[in-house]
Amino acid sequence: MSDGQFSYGRVLAEPLNAFYDFVSESEADAETVLSQPVKYTLLVMNNAVTSGRWRVISQADLDADLQKPVRFFKQHLISGELSININGESFPATVQDCIGLECNAVWDAEHVEDRILDEIKGRPNKWVESLKLKLN
């Protein structure tokens, strides 16, 4: 990352990426990384990896937990209508259904890196804030 630390993620089914709750001062080995808990899963532009910006350090089979469908919320900008998106399918939702879910948005690599750095520094992240569930 821009501050010299290393953070780690896992490519799932494109465009899903899981991000570990783990940051290190020097590059960690794959075994160490894979033993860490996943903090969140996001939809990420695949050029984060294909461009070489995010380097692949290992390939490993996905645990069953990382193969489960991921739920994201969507909120219509004007009406505020909510839905849950699972594998590209949308279902009507309530506020309660959406609490704790990530927004159905595709992130750029730079925005994910900003988010992780802001979390480390204990400050709000403008991208997370802009995608938060709007409660009426």
pLDDT digits (tens, 9 = 90+) for 7-40: 999 999 989 999 999 999 999 999 999 999 999 9
Residue 1 lies in a domain: no
Q: What predicted TM-score, i.e. pTM, was given to this entire model?
A: 0.92
Residue 118 lies in a domain: yes
Q: Which two tokens stand for residue 81?
A: 């209508």
> Amino acid identity, residue 134?
K
pLDDT tens for 57-115 read 999 999 999 999 999 999 999 999 999 999 989 999 999 999 999 999 999 999 999 99
- How large a percentage of the chain has pLDDT more than 70? 99
Spatial distance between the Cα atoms of 45 and 49, rounded to a whole number of angstroms:
8
Residue 25 lies in a domain: yes
Residues 6+ apart with CB under 8 A from 98: 73, 75, 82, 84, 133
Spatial distance between the Cα atoms of 114 and 59, rounded to a whole number of angstroms:
25
Place 46 in a pLDDT band, splitting at 50, 70 and 90.
very high
Spatial distance between the Cα atoms of 134 and 112, rounded to a whole number of angstroms:
21
Place 136 in a pLDDT band, splitting at 50, 70 and 90.
low
Spatial distance between the Cα atoms of 30 and 8, rounded to a whole number of angstroms:
9
Residue 98 lies in a domain: yes
What is the domain count for the chain? Answer: 1
**Domain limits at 43?**
6-59+67-131
Residue 81 lies in a domain: yes
